[in-house]
Structure 1
Amino acid sequence: MDMYDLTGRVAVVTGAARGLGLAFAEILARAGCHIAGLDIQSEASKSLYDLQKSHKTVVKYYQVDVTSEENVKTTVAKVVQELGRIDININAAGIVSDEPFLTTSMKNIEKTFAVNVTGSFLVAQACANVMVDRYKKQHGDSPATNATTGTIVFIASIATHMASSAQQISCYTASKAAIRGLVKPVAMELSKYGIRVNSLSPGYTMTDMIRGLQSEQPDLVKQFEKETLFGRIGAPQELQGAILWLCADRASGWYTGQDLLIDGGATSWKHPAILT
């Protein structure tokens, strides 16, 4: 049996309209998952819809404001109604603004924490309740001995492992640190239901945001490249193996309450290059 075969499982992926969320949806669909893609965008990338034909899985897109508890609960209930269950939840929706700490605005603080922290919390909470309900119907109050009910992955950041001279993103970094702070207590609470909870901290990755920075702030992107041991920014596809491993119980069934850092070695050395 292929330990990475996720045929018939249902994954709720936020931020799935593009970027890392789309890349995560793609690898899960390739493994046989049905995909419920959630995003604030009115329409997802055509690439998300193409997954259904390419991998013969069901792909549905839901426009949702992850900062709204009512919107999240309604959407997750609709996912269960239409796809039958939820086995995997990946929280990839997030925003970042470059602002000096001394002049960071309340607007930035409130919006960043609303999307990155509250949004991830609400979606994970709603999905976890669905998983727990299924577990209780099958096992009652007996504690789980095998993690087979579901898995939740929060997307943190390299920024919580090191401060970069290339950006001023204290607000974003604090929000991602809060995400990492959720992992251990939530993993502990949900372990009795057979649910694993981890975070993935990506390093500098070539998303739409980085592509925009290449034309707007080319020196910034060059700095990112210098900070990695390979002298380049990572590709979203280079995170797919990690996310698949985290979601595959037969591969990572004993891994929970942890942060997995994939950063091209950027946190492994003292960088000689300083942005001026």
Structure 2
Amino acid sequence: MATNFFTLNGKTAVITGAARGLGLTFATALASANCNLAVLDILHEPSPSLLALRDHHGIKVEYYRTDITSRSEVTAAIEKIEAEFGRIDININAAGVVSDESFLKTTDENIERTFAVNFTGSFLVAQACANSMAARYKSIHGSEPASQPTTGTIIFIASIATYIASSAQQISCYTASKAAVKGLVKPMAMELAPYGIRVNSLSPGYMMTDMMRGLQKKQPQLVDQFEKETLFGRIGMPAELKGAILYLCCDSASGWYTGQDLLVDGGASTWKHPAILASD
């Protein structure tokens, strides 16, 4: 259970991509801090583990099947969340896609889909949530600029790929989309600070998600390479990101932290690893 220092009691988080994967891990972490959850995802049904958080923690959990690349669908979902939850305090943009495709052969379809989900979808949801947060601030404080960052927090999920290129995959399109997401953080933090809103990003390293388990079966040598690239010789577990996401969400822990990217990668970006140098 989260300590009182990391409590989110009574707050509401809008999380994209939480039907499964890292988004579900983030939802679980926030639920442990008594945060209500409004989840946006494209899947018809979320993982049963998501809905089970409702009874396990005594919180409100609702699932909204939404195409986050559609402004009209995002607007409708956020309006419904405002009506059903009363307010939005946290937004975590975890929905994402990746395709292993060489730069020289990257297709228009890959470019359009990757940027539509990873960048445009994150932008649209963050924009809608930020407008909701700013409107709530103005209804209470008028035009007076905030002196405390207590209105809300927006978090983008970036990637270790924006720090160091891996020879194990060809994901230039994905990396560019995540760099674009990370590029939103500083200007948004500056623009939204007067409304008491913090904006940051979290960059995970190689994590043992369902996608990674699939790669482990299809391309075991790829996962072996990832393991060699970390300082601990293993893939990170999703639960090892829970502390980081709670830190970013809780004003009591990170109230003076905004406009930044938090890298959690098991040290993979720290060194020039010898794995690719070995030829025998």
> Do they fold alike, i.e. is TM over 0.5?
yes
C-alpha distance in structure 2 between counterparts of 1:177 and 1:61, whole Å = 28
Q: Where do 1:52-63 residues align within 5 Å?
A: 52-63=54-65
Aligned equivalent of 1:215, options 203, 211, 217: 217
Aligned match of 2:111: 109
Aligned match of 1:183: 185
Structure 2: tracts of 5 or more residues without a match = none
**Matched residue SS, 2:276:** coil
Structure 1: tracts of 5 or more residues without a match = none
Aligned match of 1:272: 274
Write out the 4+ residue segments of structure 1 that deviate beyond 3 Å after TM superposition: none
Aligned equivalent of 1:92, options 76, 91, 94: 94
Measured after TM superposition, the shift of residue 274 of structure 1 is 1.7
TM-score by length of 1: 0.99
C-alpha distance in structure 2 between counterparts of 1:2 and 1:208, whole Å = 31
Match of 2:65, as an amino acid? Q
**Matched residue SS, 1:86:** coil
Match of 2:148, as an amino acid? N
Aligned match of 2:134: 132
Q: Where do 1:30-41 residues align within 5 Å?
A: 30-41=32-43
TM-score by length of 2: 0.97
Match of 1:139, as an amino acid? H
Measured after TM superposition, the shift of residue 3 of structure 1 is 2.1
Q: Where do 1:127-276 residues align within 5 Å?
A: 127-274=129-276
C-alpha distance in structure 1 between counterparts of 2:4 and 2:50, whole Å = 25
Measured after TM superposition, the shift of residue 222 of structure 1 is 0.5
C-alpha distance in structure 2 between counterparts of 1:67 and 1:103, whole Å = 24
Match of 1:153, as an amino acid? I
Aligned equivalent of 1:46, options 41, 48, 65: 48
C-alpha distance in structure 1 between counterparts of 2:132 and 2:44, whole Å = 26
C-alpha distance in structure 1 between counterparts of 2:73 and 2:110, whole Å = 22
How many residues in Structure 1 have an aligned counterpart in Structure 2? 276
Match of 1:127, as an amino acid? C
**Matched residue SS, 1:241:** helix
C-alpha distance in structure 1 between counterparts of 2:172 and 2:120, whole Å = 17
Measured after TM superposition, the shift of residue 271 of structure 1 is 1.0
